């Protein structure tokens, strides 16, 4: 087993002290803000089709977009203006938690955002579907968000799915045992099994049925996981390409439609089955699970229900699955932390079912998950389109300007987090001598305010339960080069994700 060196892979970049930072603080104190045009950023002559050439010259690929953001901060300071080109105006990148505070303070009841995946938004609109929570703004977003708030964001509402989460975690323990026996090296590809687990867990939560993704339908599950991955990869390419697909069907856009069609066909079949089975339920709202609750809400149309169920089903593949990989990597490469975690789990859980009371006795596990979200963030930014003028870092930013609060840079900043590349869960423990106080807007892995990720509590609960079960049954080992990250709309694992799970 490799020794834990306590630091992230080299591609997980830390921001260094920026010479512009001090002057930025002085600018903020100025009585009159500087103009929007004075916000520092790449020179017009340095742009290529509206993008900074350095993204392509020094980083060589869109896969390293997140490192380019670090470069922007290092070169230009806490606020940077980047022209998008083709009449699309500028995006303002924010790297200061105080500016983030200002942006969020202007949110109001209905914060406006830039869609994470414009391609998915266009596809759904083209097919006559509801665009979904992540692609809507204004009254329509508020109506849809309000309808799921109670079912997804209240702790008590999410806790009733614990039996489902337990069941799938147990199935994963058995699945790993089978896969390990079949492997000549004794290793299993955690990237694959995490996708299968996320698919099975989401299906049981959303559709109230098992799919067999960890049993007899592994090939089908892998194909669906790969489809979802291909959609995100192509979406990232289209984000940085000439936006010709907006005007006519380019080859890449045709491929995107083909991929979305295949994924939606499979998901839609599951959704239709759930609607047919659960419509007209006589259960009380307290007894109803997620799909039943939505399907029997009179204020929701069939389109509304379908897009919410689709998002809930697919989001785990894109977010929770890679976060399981990152958590297992940190645990595997830090044997002392793994040992301490296992002691905590064995004391709290033993042979008992995992209940809310049991989860409340696992502070170190929660700290490890939190630290993994900081060190290996899944996203690069929280976006906003403020509906009123702002002053950020002493510069005037007019209403309607897209703003990216680049949280991946904030969470690795040495000014905000001492030893930012070190995996140090104790920094989050209240009674630890290493506990630190952090800026409240420096750590926002799930977003903020009304636009906070609706599936946050499900993701946290899923990770806590599955890590408990794996730590109870296996010693987790990773003996390959460090896992890094690559940009594919989200920040996904790069490198060998083969792990050994040694039975205890």
The annotation places the binding site for heme at 453
The Cα 489–Cα 330 span in angstroms is 23
The annotation places the binding site at 453
Report the candidate in 418, 323, 413, 408 with the shortest Cα–Cα distance to residue 368.
Answer: 323
Q: Where are the alpha helices (DSSP H) in 333-422?
A: 335-348, 356-359, 363-375, 407-410
The Cα 196–Cα 190 span in angstroms is 10
DSSP 381: -
Burial profile 25-62: b = 16 or more Cβ within 10 angstroms, e = fewer: eebbeeeebeeeeebbbbeeeebeebbbebbbeebeeb
User: Other CB atoms closer than 10 Å to residue 307's CB: what's the count?
Assistant: 22
- Residue 336 phi/psi, 5-degree rounding, is -65, -40
DSSP 63: G
The Cα 388–Cα 464 span in angstroms is 40
The Cα 63–Cα 492 span in angstroms is 10
């Amino acid at each position: 087993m490799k020794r834990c060196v306590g630091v992230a892979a080299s591609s997980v970049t830390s921001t260094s002290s920026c010479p512009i930072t001090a002057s930025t603080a002085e600018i903020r104190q100025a009585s009159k803000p500087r103009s929007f045009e004075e916000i520092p950023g790449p020179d017009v002559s340095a742009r290529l089709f509206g993008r900074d050439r350095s993204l392509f010259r020094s980083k060589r690929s869109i896969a390293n977009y997140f490192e380019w953001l670090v470069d922007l901060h290092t070169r230009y300071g806490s606020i940077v203006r980047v022209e998008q080109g083709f009449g699309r105006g500028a995006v303002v990148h924010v790297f200061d938690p105080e500016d983030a505070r200002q942006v969020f303070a202007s949110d109001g009841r209905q914060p406006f955002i830039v869609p994470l995946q414009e391609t998915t938004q266009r596809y759904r609109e083209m097919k006559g579907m509801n665009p979904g929570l992540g692609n809507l703004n204004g009254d329509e977003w508020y109506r849809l968000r309000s309808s799921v708030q109670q079912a997804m964001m209240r702790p008590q509402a999410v806790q009733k799915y614990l039996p489902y989460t337990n069941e799938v975690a147990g199935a994963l323990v058995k699945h790993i045992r089978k896969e390990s026996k079949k492997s000549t090296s004794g290793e299993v590809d955690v990237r694959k099994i995490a996708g299968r687990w996320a698919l099975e867990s989401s299906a049981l939560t959303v559709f109230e049925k098992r799919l067999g993704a960890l049993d007899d339908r592994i090939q089908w599950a892998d194909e669906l996981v790969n489809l979802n991955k291909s959609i995100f990869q192509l979406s990232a390419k289209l984000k940085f390409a000439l936006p010709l697909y907006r005007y006519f069907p380019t080859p890449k856009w045709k491929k995107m439609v083909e991929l979305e069609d295949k994924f939606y066909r499979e998901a839609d079949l599951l959704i239709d089955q759930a609607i047919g089975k659960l419509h007209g339920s006589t259960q009380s709202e307290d007894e109803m699970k997620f799909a039943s609750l939505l399907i029997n809400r009179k204020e929701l149309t069939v389109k509304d229900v379908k897009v919410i169920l689709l998002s809930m089903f697919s989001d785990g593949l894109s977010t929770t699955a890679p976060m399981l990989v990152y958590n297992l990597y940190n645990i595997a490469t830090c044997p002392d932390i793994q040992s301490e975690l296992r002691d905590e789990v064995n004391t709290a859980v033993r042979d008992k079912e995992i209940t809310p009371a049991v989860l409340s006795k696992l502070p170190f596990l929660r700290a490890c998950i939190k630290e993994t979200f900081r060190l290996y963030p899944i996203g690069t930014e929280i976006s906003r389109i403020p509906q009123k003028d702002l002053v950020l870092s002493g510069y005037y930013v007019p209403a309607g300007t897209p703003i990216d609060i680049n949280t991946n840079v904030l969470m690795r900043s040495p000014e905000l987090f001492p030893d930012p590349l070190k995996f140090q869960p104790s920094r989050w423990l209240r009674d630890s001598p290493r506990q630190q106080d952090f800026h409240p807007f420096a750590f926002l892995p799930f977003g903020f305010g009304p636009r906070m990720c609706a599936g946050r509590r499900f993701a946290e609960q899923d990770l806590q339960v599955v890590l408990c079960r794996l730590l109870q049954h296996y010693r987790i080992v990773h003996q390959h080069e460090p896992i890094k990250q690559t940009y594919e709309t989200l920040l996904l694992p790069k490198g060998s994700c083969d792990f050994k799970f040694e039975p205890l």
